[in-house]
A and B are shown apart, each in its own frame.
Chain A
Amino acid sequence: MDRRRFLQIMGSALAGATGGTLLTPRTSKAQEASKHREFYGILVDTTRCIGCRRCEKACAEVNNLPIPDISEQTNETVLQNIRKTTDTQYTVINPYDTEKGKIFVPKRCMHCNQPGCAAACLVKAMKKRKEGHVTWELNCMGCRLCMISCPFDIPKFEYDKAIPLIQKCNLCYGRFLKGLAPGCVEACPAEALMFGTRRKLIEEGKRRIAQNPGKYVHHIYGENEVAGTSHLYLSAVPFEQIGFRMDLGTTPYPEYSTGFLYAVPFIFVLWPIIMLGMSRMTKKGGAEEHKEATGHGEEKKQGKG
């Protein structure tokens, strides 16, 4: 290849690229940002939860999981301890002794606006759906990075199976597509769970706080934590008293990895050019380097410059 040929190729490539970009429709950053997505979620009013655990039972029924025993006697024992969600229980009710008495708090996936689990997934098995649900699919590799990346430690892995799944609440995505509310919401007798668009849930949360300022702490947990979640909570007492972490910040978790990810193209461009330069600066980089650099073998070294 000689210089003229090289320039010809580069020229046509450049023309093609320019023409291509002029023809494809572009969305500006502002236009992109204005694509509103209405996420659905659940507002949990912990002042209303009575700890009956009917949501746990309904969730198990809807998802073909082992049905928990929620008789009054069993509940008395079970509700002595703080539990975590497991690979067979997507949602649990936890008891907290506070200054305003015993408060029951349902715990399940927070369906974050910008989920760390979805950002961590290298095969897009964990996804944030456009309706807000964070779901898991079978193309998963089982690498468990989603578990590490979740600030709420929600995804659970089936270690005891040879064909394991990752288990967590999916906000009843299947039911949603059929126009049904999540199992837990339908089963709650105390109207502690409200299902709707995030916008409506936050408006409702603020309305309840405004109408009963003495009853609630003036904060909706999940409104801004980790850049917002679709699972939102109201509380009568400060949230740290009912098991919520207050140190998670408002940065979306995926943004902790984007710095590195943006450095990738920089390194891939800079390292080769720096190293090509360095290998040229040092006269000998080994005979292979000579051959590679001169491109057409050793005969050039004789005589001519």
Chain B
Amino acid sequence: MSEISATPEIKNVRDFVRFFIRELKPRGKIFTPFNVITAPIMLLGLVLIVYRFAAGLGAVTNLSQEIPWGLWIGFDVITGVAFAGGGYVVAFMVYIIGGEKYHSIARAAILSAFLAYVFYAGGIILDVGRWWNIVNPMIGREFGVNAVMFLVAWHFFLYMVAAGLEFSPAAAEWLGMKRLRKILASLTLGAVIFGIALSTLHQSGLGALMSMAKGKIHPLWYTEFIPVLFFISSVFAGLSVVIFKEMICHKVFKEQIDEEHRKSFPDIIVSLGKICAVVMFGYFFLKVMMFVHDRNWPYLNTPMGYWYLTEIIGLVLIPCFMFVHGAQTRNLPLILTASTFTMIGIIMNRLNYVFIAYNWQIPVFEKYYPTWMEFVITLTIISVELWVYRWCVNRMAVFRKPPEWAIEKH
């Protein structure tokens, strides 16, 4: 299982199809706990997705006139995209500032980010009410260039292209296409730079979507600098997910990881932890500054105030110090815990903007909570994404070293 198939000879489309079909065969055990849990979820999810399209959003979700965006936009899309931030941050570290030490995790981070955009940003099609018009921002009759959403939509698409390009050399290696690989590799720097600019703008853009909800978002969360907060938090959100996924993958795919990578792993995790700590520390101070500037003192001693403190102290400042301590003592499990808390904090932060601190003053019976169907469909999307991720990792050089002919000479 740790050996990739020998470099295939693909000379035409028929070869490719045959190769691809062969590669679709599952590897390893079929009845793993992960498979047994996710397979029925995905089947049920598929049924629910068909039902959603047939019967409309109201049949499957608890969205309302007061709360038009819920779990799918708040968690799948907005949080999912924040979590995918690891792709552009790691790409920046490896390709722009030459952090060779992180090279071994680059492909996994970029693949994760690419798939995250395909499935979570792509998953938007489930949430838009008139989904057949989803191509309108691209090829419709009118372009709403005035809209933040226009930018976000285009960026999601362009970033999928950029991240796909960044990962494509690995796919070319898998197909044994040497010249194609060389061409794609030469595009990497451009794709990385483009991807980072895109990411900066759509991570902040997701925050900017809420700028016109002034007066409906609780003052402790609303600020003219929401885009800045979203961008900065996407850095440590993405890196926390990278840490989380790496630590899990190191167990799950351990036979693919060579000795050199295994030895450098603790250094990488500790470094990522330190970066998270520093960025989170800065982020916390930004929130303090905005709090003081907006004179939000009276709001602290209220239920929403306590919730706000839970978020920024319990789920930002405390994990920040967990990262610090974990890095100082090289305690990988503590860093993993810090990542988990950080991820929860990001989820809470994004959901606050979408339906918790948004229209927070409406009576309890009007408040939104997701239906079980929304949860199942969300889990379905995540499961499918993880299945595809696993498929790629098992066949391409994501954790493994690339084939001999592909390794560049410095």
Chain A interface residues (CB < 8 Å from chain B):
84, 86-87, 116, 118-124, 139-145, 147-149, 151, 153, 156-164, 245, 247-248, 253-254, 256-257, 259-261, 263-264, 267-268, 271-272, 275-276, 278-279, 282-289, 291-293
Contacts and interface: CB of A to CB of B under 8 A. Distances in A.
A161 to B, nearest CB: 5
Contacts of B214: 151, 253, 256
B100 interface: yes
B189 A259 contact: no
Contact of A159 (B57, B197, B208, B213): B57
A288 B185 contact: yes
A267 B186 contact: no
Given A122-B149, A151-B215, A291 B186 contact: yes
Contacts of B134: 141
Interface in B34-76: 53-59, 61, 63-66, 68-69
A253 B212 contact: yes
A157 B212 contact: no
Contacts, number: 207
Nearest to A143: B128
B137 interface: yes
- The B interface is mostly helix, strand or loop, or mixed, namely helix
Contact of A272 (B57, B94, B95, B193): B193
Contacts of A292: 186-190
Interface centre among A86, A144, A157 (most CB of B within 10 A): A144
Interface in B77-117: 92, 94-98, 100, 103
B207 to A, nearest CB: 8
A164 B129 contact: yes
A174 B84 CA distance: 46
Nearest to A259: B224
Nearest to B134: A141
A284 B410 contact: yes
A99 B48 CA distance: 53
A245 B215 contact: yes
A285 B201 CA distance: 24
Interface residues of B, number: 73
Nearest to B153: A122
Top 9 nearest A-B pairs (CB, nearest first) are A142-B129, A159-B58, A149-B212, A282-B98, A142-B130, A287-B408, A144-B68, A122-B150, A124-B142
Contact of A84 (B65, B187, B194, B215): B65
Contact of A267 (B59, B94, B137, B201): B201
A272 B56 CA distance: 43
A272 B197 CA distance: 7
B16 interface: no
Contact of B54 (A162, A245, A279, A285): A162
B133 interface: yes
B144 A162 contact: no
B167 to A, nearest CB: 13
A140 to B, nearest CB: 6
16 contacts: A123-B140, A142-B131, A159-B58, A159-B64, A164-B129, A254-B146, A256-B211, A256-B224, A257-B208, A260-B227, A263-B227, A264-B151, A279-B98, A284-B98, A289-B95, A292-B188
Contacts of B55: 162
A276 B150 CA distance: 27
B332 interface: no
A166 B92 CA distance: 42
Contact of A268 (B65, B140, B197, B409): B197
Nearest to A297: B186
A87 B59 CA distance: 16
Interface in B129-173: 129-131, 133-134, 136-137, 140-144, 146-151, 153
A139 B188 contact: no
B210 interface: yes
A152 B58 CA distance: 23
Nearest to B58: A159
